[in-house]
Amino acid sequence: MKIAIYGYGNLGRGVESAVKQNPDVELVRVFTRRDPATVKTLTGVPVDRTENVLNYKGEIDVLVLCGGSATDLPETTPKLAGDFNAIDSFDTHANIPAHFAKVDAAATKGGKLALISAGWDPGMFSLNRLYASAILPSGKDYTFWGRGVSQGHSDAIRRVPGVRDARQYTVPIQSALDAVRSGSNPELTTRQKHLRECYVVPEEGADLAAIETAIKTMPNYFSDYDTTVTFVSQEELDKNHAGLPHGGFVIRSGKTGLDGEHSHTIEYNLKLDSNPEFTGSVLVAFARAIDRMSRRGVVGCKTVFDVAPIDLSPLSPEEVRAHML
Amino acid sequence: MKIAIYGYGNLGRGVESAVKQNPDVELVRVFTRRDPATVKTLTGVPVDRTENVLNYKGEIDVLVLCGGSATDLPETTPKLAGDFNAIDSFDTHANIPAHFAKVDAAATKGGKLALISAGWDPGMFSLNRLYASAILPSGKDYTFWGRGVSQGHSDAIRRVPGVRDARQYTVPIQSALDAVRSGSNPELTTRQKHLRECYVVPEEGADLAAIETAIKTMPNYFSDYDTTVTFVSQEELDKNHAGLPHGGFVIRSGKTGLDGEHSHTIEYNLKLDSNPEFTGSVLVAFARAIDRMSRRGVVGCKTVFDVAPIDLSPLSPEEVRAHML
């Protein structure tokens, strides 16, 4: 199975390293908006310009779109889904129905198969919300994120005057997790679920108190949360906060029994050293499924909900039944 | 969607109470080997004898087989899978390939659809082993069970001379769980993973030391484990150990990155007040999928691996994409 990567940032490199662990998957090309002469891939895969991608029609089983959800994917997935089987990790939850409709129209018209919003949230977390709610209809589910780096929040801090660099961690609050796990189905405010920890490198001579206030009162990003601001040197940030860890929890608790007398808790959690490498690994597994489903004649846009799990595995159905069931 | 329950023990009652939470599912009949006049269902559903089941051909969308895996299901699922869409919770892992082959032959011949081994292990735990291994091919997975009641082990204790009643709890060992969660991929012996806690009601005048020795040295069931035996009165057993709680953990840790430099841990865990009611809830969700897949013309034997998650939900694909993705 031949795949190509379209967009070569952290996520593209995550997909590239995931391919190395999947012997049935071959990475044939990386497409970049930069000058290919300036881009050296981790594994020596040849690079071409994004505008040349249509030259490769017929040579790529699945194109893995590794752009951002804010501006790249809303453009590129619908644009390319008519020419290639395609997969993306579009993660702006509120815009998924609109993105789905555009990609579905393009893929259906071109007789191709696309899958949007693969990763861990949306992606594996979504699957767990669906499975758990189907099993325990009388219940409530909760999603917690972290402890992990939010790139959007880190970027927001960097836009504050006087800030040179920053890293923001989203941290689930243990007492809220414990309350959810107890099965008590608590009502939790935004502030009760997550803390925001900010590590900030100030410009020389900057007004630290003003920076701290600007961060803590920033609407949408920080004002609804308990936020800590710690000023650090660039060296300290580079040394201790260079990684992109993330993770989180999907927990559903629900009742069964004629009178709801029995409680059950279903929990799925992830602890990830590298958010882009894990997301890349999910994309490669679902790219395998897309390739198989496409060979069976499936066209249009799908999501992780439409994929039978067996299609994700490189093993045969017989092996999977014998060893994993 | 009309279902019927075949076999009315704890699991059958679990399915019956799950139906109450699923307005799109109607329970039309309970089949029992007992005299129907002696069986009163929880929700007033009419009862008939198992030998009359073929009279209901065409009236039942999915027959939910609620017998035991030791002797009932190996007989009944292949026998009935040619006449009804059928689902079971066959859980003798080693015999799954043989059971699958027989059910597949019967269902295919009759143009029906069957699904075997739905529940939580096999079932939801199997799904999580498959998803996690497809995402993190370079890794190792671990399954822990408990804390919960093992009916097989409780039965084994009851067969010891001098034992009147007993209840056995399988208990995962916290230090083993912690080691697995740390990502260190430990090699764990049977004894290092689980403890066995036994609550035993002796007959009057029984030799307690002999009972304890007989239990602790029993091959397969107890000799490979650290086992505790606590003697209790029948009243205490009935009061404190009447429930059927269970649960467990599926944890996979794996590496990504060009040199495996990043670790990831995927964990799925269940905490269940009632094993049969939770298993019944899983059966009803997968029965919904079987009904839908059958209407699309799918025949033969399937497992949880073959079911696209969307087919488990009573919601429309649009609703699921908008609210759960």
pLDDT tens by residue, B164-181: 999 999 999 999 999 999
Provide the 8-state DSSP code for A277. Answer: H
CA distance B55 to chain A (A): 29
Question: Is the preceding peptide bond at A122 cis, omega within 30 degrees of 0?
Answer: yes
Write the single-letter amino acid at B120: W
Chain A residues touching B242 at Cβ < 8 A:
none
| Strand order across the B139-145 sheet | A139-145, A246-256, A262-272, B262-272, B246-256, B139-145
Supply the pLDDT for residue B235: 98
Residue A324's nearest CA partner among B111, B305, B315, B197 is: B305
Supply the pLDDT for residue A9: 96
Supply the pLDDT for residue A263: 97
The beta-carbon neighbor of A278 closest among B17, B256, B273 is B256
H or E element at residue A202:
strand A194-202
Q: Do A281 and B256 touch (CB under 8 A)?
A: yes
pLDDT tens for A248-257 read 999 999 999 9
Pairing of strands B194-202, B226-231: parallel
Full-prediction pTM beyond 0.95?
A: yes
The beta-carbon neighbor of B282 closest among A135, A273, A322 is A135
pLDDT tens for B26-42 read 999 999 999 999 999 99
pLDDT tens for A112-165 read 999 999 999 999 999 999 999 999 999 999 999 999 999 999 999 999 999 999
Over chain A, what is the mean pLDDT? 97
Q: What is the largest CA-CA distance in chain A?
A: 68
CA distance A325 to B97: 10
CA distance B289 to chain A (A): 11
Q: Do A324 and B264 touch (CB under 8 A)?
A: no
pLDDT tens for A190-224 read 999 999 999 999 999 999 999 999 999 999 899 99
Chain A residues touching B307 at Cβ < 8 A:
308-309
Supply the pLDDT for residue B325: 95
With contact defined as beta carbons under 8 Å apart, do A64 and A53 qualify? Answer: no
Chain B residues touching A324 at Cβ < 8 A:
126, 129-130, 133, 305
Supply the pLDDT for residue A258: 94
**Which parts of chain A fold into alpha helices (H)?**
10-19, 72-80, 96-110, 124-135, 151-158, 174-181, 190-193, 208-216, 234-240, 275-295, 317-323
10 Å CB burial of residue A188 (0-12, 13-18, 19+) is middle
CA distance B168 to B154: 5
Other CB atoms within 10 Å distance of the CB of residue B296: 8
Residue A324's nearest CA partner among B286, B246, B133 is: B133
pLDDT tens for B117-149 read 999 999 999 999 999 999 999 999 999 999 999
Query: Could you read off the pLDDT tens digit of each residue along chain B, which spans 325 residues?
Result: 999 999 999 999 999 999 999 999 999 999 999 999 999 999 999 999 999 999 999 999 999 999 999 899 999 999 999 999 999 999 999 999 999 999 999 999 999 999 999 999 999 999 999 999 999 999 999 999 999 999 999 999 999 999 999 999 999 999 999 999 998 999 999 999 999 999 999 999 999 999 999 999 999 899 999 999 999 999 999 999 999 999 999 999 999 999 999 999 999 999 999 999 999 999 999 999 999 999 999 999 999 999 999 999 999 999 999 999 9
pLDDT tens for A24-33 read 999 999 999 9
ipTM: 0.96
